[in-house]
């Protein structure tokens, strides 16, 4: 009975994660549609998101209290989260949505290497093999889309940050509510960015929003961040960081299709790009099948 309940809960978490990833597929599109620079875009995004979560906590009359040690960890993780999003949106603005989303698929590669290091366990040979295939796919994209080299490198750096905070969250979610984790990490990201703006005199007229940017930012901050981020963290109670990273790689598929429908020719790439993309995503989706066969 306990096993059945656990399986149902795990399947529920998988469904939640798939819906969340579909919503995340719109994030890159919104990033391309919003005209302000990446740093300001992220500042507004996390501001709207953590205020939304705080309002939800107030309505539910739920406590946000955590111990000092947990607060410091979450606050510092917010720095990594903020870095991930800035690099992500900057990559979109200097390349394309498709290039950025495929580069983000390397989360699986980074997680397969970093998660065993965090948990002090052996690196699985199968995950190393999948990682090598992903590297080959990235190489193909570099070779045929060299004009987007900086965008690809920035996207890879964004994926590294995403992998790190995903692994950290997979540990934190064992003892802290997902919404609480999300609130303090988003708040931390906003504080770190605000500090950066204070030092660099970033609070200036470049931050001003027009009506279109405000509309898209509200969608990005509430639906694609506050709601989706809480959901994305909550599934880590049942799923490993690697499996979450694996399913998260559906985001490029959703995003590339939506981007092509909205932006048309701007999102068209070379055959080499699509070859690399198929190699990366094919490796990722073959992984669970191969692992199941090996376990048998």
Query: Is 119 part of any domain?
Result: yes
Query: Is 13 part of any domain?
Result: no
Query: Is 172 part of any domain?
Result: yes
Q: What is the pLDDT of residue 2?
A: 60
pTM of the model: 0.81
Q: What is the pLDDT of residue 14?
A: 82
Over residues 153-164, the pLDDT tens digits come to 999 999 999 999
**Structural domain count, the chain:** 1
Query: Is 11 part of any domain?
Result: no
CA-based angle 26:51:29, to the nearest 5? 15
Mean pLDDT for the chain? 84
Query: Is 153 part of any domain?
Result: yes
Q: Which domain holds residue 39?
A: 18-295
Query: Is 132 part of any domain?
Result: yes
Tokens 């903020």 correspond to 82
Other Cβ atoms within 10 Å of 19 Cβ, number: 12
Query: Which ranges of the chain have pLDDT less than 50?
Result: none
Residues 46 and 190 sit within 8 Å (Cβ to Cβ): yes
Query: Is 10 part of any domain?
Result: no
Q: What is the pLDDT of residue 231?
A: 80
SS3 content of the chain, % helix, strand, coil (to 5): 85, 0, 15
Query: Is 144 part of any domain?
Result: yes
Q: What is the pLDDT of residue 206?
A: 83
Residues 147 and 131 sit within 8 Å (Cβ to Cβ): no
Give the span between the Cα atoms of 18 and 210, in whole angstroms.
Answer: 33
Other Cβ atoms within 10 Å of 36 Cβ, number: 19
């Amino acid at each position: 009975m306990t096993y059945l309940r656990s399986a149902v809960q795990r399947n529920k978490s998988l469904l939640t994660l798939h819906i969340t990833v579909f919503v995340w597929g719109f994030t890159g599109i919104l990033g391309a549609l919003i005209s302000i620079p990446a740093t300001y875009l992220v500042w507004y995004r996390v501001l709207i998101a953590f205020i939304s979560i705080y309002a939800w906590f107030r309505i539910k009359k739920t406590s946000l209290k955590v111990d000092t040690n947990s607060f410091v960890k979450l606050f510092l993780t917010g720095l990594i989260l903020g870095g991930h999003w800035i690099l992500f949106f900057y990559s979109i603005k200097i390349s394309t949505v498709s290039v950025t989303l495929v580069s983000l698929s390397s989360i699986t590669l980074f997680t397969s290497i970093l998660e065993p290091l965090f948990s002090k366990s052996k690196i699985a040979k199968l995950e190393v093999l999948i990682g090598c295939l992903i590297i080959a796919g990235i190489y193909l994209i570099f070779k045929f889309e060299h004009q987007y080299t900086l965008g690809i490198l920035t996207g890879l750096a964004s994926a590294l940050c995403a992998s790190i905070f995903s692994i950290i969250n997979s540990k934190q979610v064992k003892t802290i509510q997902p919404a609480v984790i999300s609130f303090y990490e988003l708040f931390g990201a906003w504080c770190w960015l605000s500090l950066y703006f204070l030092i660099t005199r970033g609070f200036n007229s470049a931050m001003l929003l027009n009506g279109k940017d405000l509309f898209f930012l509200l969608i990005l901050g509430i639906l694609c961040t506050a709601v989706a981020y809480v959901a994305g963290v909550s599934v880590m109670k049942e799923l490993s960081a690697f499996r979450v990273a694996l399913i998260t790689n559906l985001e490029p598929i959703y995003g590339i299709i939506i981007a092509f429908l909205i932006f048309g020719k701007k999102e068209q790439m070379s055959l080499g790009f699509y070859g690399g993309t198929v190699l990366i995503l094919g490796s990722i989706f073959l992984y669970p099948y191969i692992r199941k066969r090996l376990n048998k």
